[in-house]
Amino acid sequence: MSELLGKRLRALRRLKRLTQDDLANAAGISVSMLSTIERGAKYPRVDLLRKFARVLDVSPEELFVLPEVLSG
């Protein structure tokens, strides 16, 4: 699950044209931590998921919506 969340987070970040540095700074974490989450090596806390959603301007649930390509 964490790998799929990481891919979704990376896709949303790129869609919003944010760098890892941009998102990490806005969420109050290091770029290294964000990279670890995007690779699926670590699952973020709920409060961090909410920060990501706020910065990316999506609902928290949208972080878990899988594109047809991945879910089919």
CB count in 10 Å sphere of residue 44 = 21
pLDDT tens digits, 20-40: 999 999 999 999 999 999 999
Please give the pLDDT value at position 64: 84
Please give the pLDDT value at position 67: 63
Please give the pLDDT value at position 2: 82
**In 3-state terms, what secondary structure has residue 1?**
coil
Low-confidence ranges of the chain (pLDDT < 50): 70-72
Please give the pLDDT value at position 71: 46
**What class has domain 2-58?**
mainly alpha
Query: pTM to 2 decimals?
Result: 0.86
Q: Determine the residue type at 69.
A: V
Task: Report the distance separating Cα 51 and Cα 33, nearest Å.
Answer: 14
Q: Where are the domains of the chain?
A: 2-58
